[in-house]
Structure 1
């Protein structure tokens, strides 16, 4: 007999071996019907995997994150099977699950057309109705090479080259299709009920521009048609909020191939919004005891060697530059410069904590295939700060940071947050005891403040654990903003010290943190969250003055002058167009308020105030209009 421990702590006994499906059947018929795969002693396995020892077992359905991943990865295999049946000459590459759905890369000379996608989708539905079981087979490396050589799948053979000798290799087969895969997978294709292929794109093999460009197909799938319909509606709403479209329509920013991919050009209106964000950021930091600094855009190689970036981060850094025989690198981060400022003089424990803050522009090499508007760029401004403190001060500083970060995000209109505690990754520096101590400190702060959080196993930076705060938008999407990262590595590497009460040198602790994350990503998140309808205090143009005829132009200019003197950002629409056209234009540009100025308004020394998405607020004197604007602010 073996003991099976379930997530609620209950224990069931079975004669060995037993499958997770059998356990699910014993719990409830509904769970057995929805079961996708299982987690046995923290290892993901097929639902029919034989369990022959005492184990903790978690049964995953489509309603769990890991269940969705297996569901979508299984659908990627189904899509590859459909493609191979329709286009036998195509070679298959890789097909993972992604955050929303899946994709598969194919080697094909011609791009897939919309008609092709419809055919593939229909074939997938046909194969789904056949309820083909997913069979797992374990192979030696030699057997796997023989199998995929006979199939002439060159990309699978290249992947096999990277697998160490002696490691167990598995393949999965459903019907006439075989793929190299670790698994797990669905029990059969019949579980895949609703499918939609969304789009195609090009993708370099292994993300390397030196390799062949493959054809990628993206898709999504669900257990019910209703879930698919709801998701397609979600996509429609998301497209309306796409910051790339809003940025173009509202003339906020652009990215030019002539300048370079991933490098942002801020237009006057976008620059104004950015100025307002950064001004608020500076004001709040000064109130919280931060000191503002500015640092160079590049530094000598030895700086990045000392920091560890050349060992752990070089693939994300731009190539070195030879300057007078010395190697220099453009900065991917600001921290070594802030440390150099700290190390430029001796410090007493009485001075700590020292909080250095900078809106510092950094440059990181991102492959062209992952660049995405302002969300993923190559040059961006980080709202960076480093807090250097004594070990005794660290817990209090983390507490303050979490509260400060949430308060600041709420000021921009955000209301819902997802918080993650990211722990030690495989590739890292530092002693395990230090990692455990730092992780416990971050967890204690979250618990003390009564905040719910999830643990992101292995998601920490290479130099320490961290807290990540993500914004949840109106469509339920999560966007990364705040990060609070503990670092016991760089103080050691840069020999940072302070003089303690005992007149001896001590090692300080250091906290890296960014509240907004990067100005670019935050700007994009802000745009999408508000659908471009920025609150009045952030709107680049707050008020549009609309004279009904040219006869009111002079009156409009007087109103404009008074509003400007009161500190409002306003524009005058002096075009020889009809009033209705001008109002529609202001609405389209999402300008918060309009002042309509006609003959009656001029004669009575009034304005007719109109609010975006609300409508006409009526005629009033300018003082009353300004009172409404100030209340809105």
Structure 2
């Protein structure tokens, strides 16, 4: 199959419709509607994110979707990002809908007096952000106007920069390896439209490059493509077709903590500005979902599949037993549905295959009489007759192996 045909087969917009994951509508251009199965996939990605961040010592926060204009003027977004933002007016005051979550994280940092003993302070946020994109550039979940950014903002002392960036790089590698992604790394340097002193930029760029070199990672320099407030390390994942997608980013920022007068009390009992690390791993949940849909061609591993198990009773005589099995599997934490239509089993199996359900449980008179289930696995066919406990064990082992 040619590359073009294979890419078309994997097109996330086509599979999004076929698998009933998401919809785009004229009532909200560039702002996706997630259908129940799409929400199941989105929730799985977010649950994984929350779990791994708790282990890594992050604290989850949530900041408002809309804040006053003067905040965005202070942050520099008004000057450097104005054309990409949406605005509103409330009680005769101008507001902006957030295109990024960093100013909100700064306000939380400044909400109380901080000590050097608290640092590094790692705030993580699944923040819904809005950015104005030209209508002609919108593309399914890959290019949208509203998306959930998996932000984290780390407030660190200068002597903690290298160790914290090092840990972030390890966390990013841990995430990508779960999906079988290889990736390329770019170090993006000072853009023309930058904020702050060149000396601070040089210091920040050297700090990031030093970590990459110490970890013996291959990287390329991407001149002038840094954020307006600091240089960054960008991660480009390679999908099953070898296509490159920009996802994760690690940005070092000496500017905003000074602009917002962020400070902590040091060991010398004097105030000091922290350094801020902006960081995302998925980049955005929506974009990462699109990449995964195309990477797997919608044929997700069991742990990620929006619908993990489809129960197929042969007739209405097995509906009560099928419902009992469905509830037991739901209680065990699996995503499961039952097809109780009055249709031939061959049609039900074909449609379950079209929906790319990893497992099917077929129930006929014999299975009901034996309190058993006929287990069928996608791509492998029939696995035999098993009892419910044995089936649950197989599913649990598949989850543990992240199959």
Provide the residue aligned with 2:71 in structure 1.
303
Q: Is residue 372 of structure 1 aligned with residue 139 of structure 2?
A: yes
> Cα offset for 1:363?
0.6
Provide the residue aligned with 1:278 in structure 2.
46
> Cα offset for 1:579?
0.7
Q: What is the DSSP-based 3-state SS (H/G/I as helix, E as strand, rest coil) of the residue aligned with 1:357?
A: strand
Provide the residue aligned with 2:33 in structure 1.
265
Provide the residue aligned with 2:193 in structure 1.
427
CA distance in structure 1 between the aligned counterparts of 2:293 and 2:55, rounded to whole angstroms: 27
Q: Which ranges in structure 2 are unaligned for 5 or more consecutive residues?
A: none
- When normalised by structure 1's length, the TM-score is 0.62
Provide the residue aligned with 1:444 in structure 2.
210
Q: What is the DSSP-based 3-state SS (H/G/I as helix, E as strand, rest coil) of the residue aligned with 2:379?
A: coil
Q: Is residue 360 of structure 1 aligned with residue 127 of structure 2?
A: yes
Alignment of 1:29-40 (within 5 A): none
CA deviation digits over 1:493-528, x for unaligned, max 9? 111111111111111100000111011101111111
Compare relative contact order (CA 8 Å, sep 6+) and give the higher one, 1 or 2. 2
CA distance in structure 2 between the aligned counterparts of 1:335 and 1:453, rounded to whole angstroms: 26
Q: What is the DSSP-based 3-state SS (H/G/I as helix, E as strand, rest coil) of the residue aligned with 1:313?
A: helix
Provide the residue aligned with 1:161 in structure 2.
none
CA distance in structure 2 between the aligned counterparts of 1:363 and 1:301, rounded to whole angstroms: 15
Which one of the candidate residues 616, 624, 631 is aligned to 2:382? 616
Which one of the candidate residues 331, 337, 342 is aligned to 2:98? 331
- Give the RMSD, CA atoms, in angstroms: 1.3
Q: Is residue 473 of structure 1 aligned with residue 242 of structure 2?
A: no
- When normalised by structure 2's length, the TM-score is 0.96
Provide the residue aligned with 1:316 in structure 2.
84
> Cα offset for 1:418?
1.1
> Cα offset for 1:450?
2.1
Q: Is residue 396 of structure 1 aligned with residue 168 of structure 2?
A: no
CA distance in structure 2 between the aligned counterparts of 1:540 and 1:363, rounded to whole angstroms: 26
CA distance in structure 2 between the aligned counterparts of 1:570 and 1:324, rounded to whole angstroms: 48
Q: What is the DSSP-based 3-state SS (H/G/I as helix, E as strand, rest coil) of the residue aligned with 2:237?
A: strand
> Cα offset for 1:605?
2.3
CA deviation digits over 1:163-212, x for unaligned, max 9? xxxxxxxxxxxxxxxxxxxxxxxxxxxxxxxxxxxxxxxxxxxxxxxxxx
Are the structure 2 counterparts of residues 563 and 324 from structure 1 closer, same or farther at C-alpha, using a change threshold of 3 Å?
A: closer
> Cα offset for 1:324?
2.3
Provide the residue aligned with 2:5 in structure 1.
236
> Cα offset for 1:396?
0.4
**Contact 1:414 1:471 (8 Å CA) reproduced:** no
CA distance in structure 1 between the aligned counterparts of 2:325 and 2:99, rounded to whole angstroms: 48
Alignment of 1:198-597 (within 5 A): 233-257=2-26, 259-318=27-86, 320-411=87-178, 413-597=179-363
> Cα offset for 1:414?
2.7
Q: What is the DSSP-based 3-state SS (H/G/I as helix, E as strand, rest coil) of the residue aligned with 1:361?
A: strand
Provide the residue aligned with 1:204 in structure 2.
none
> Cα offset for 1:603?
2.4
**Contact 1:291 1:355 (8 Å CA) reproduced:** yes
State the number of aligned residues: 399
CA distance in structure 2 between the aligned counterparts of 1:556 and 1:325, rounded to whole angstroms: 59
CA distance in structure 1 between the aligned counterparts of 2:333 and 2:56, rounded to whole angstroms: 26
> Cα offset for 1:382?
0.5
CA deviation digits over 1:257-285, x for unaligned, max 9? 0x221011111111121111111211111
> Cα offset for 1:549?
2.4
CA distance in structure 2 between the aligned counterparts of 1:350 and 1:556, rounded to whole angstroms: 57
CA distance in structure 1 between the aligned counterparts of 2:89 and 2:332, rounded to whole angstroms: 52
CA distance in structure 1 between the aligned counterparts of 2:85 and 2:44, rounded to whole angstroms: 30
CA distance in structure 1 between the aligned counterparts of 2:180 and 2:287, rounded to whole angstroms: 15
**Contact 1:536 1:542 (8 Å CA) reproduced:** yes
CA distance in structure 1 between the aligned counterparts of 2:134 and 2:330, rounded to whole angstroms: 45
CA distance in structure 2 between the aligned counterparts of 1:461 and 1:570, rounded to whole angstroms: 43
Q: What is the DSSP-based 3-state SS (H/G/I as helix, E as strand, rest coil) of the residue aligned with 2:162?
A: helix
Rg larger in 1 or in 2? 1
Runs of 4+ that moved beyond 6 A: none
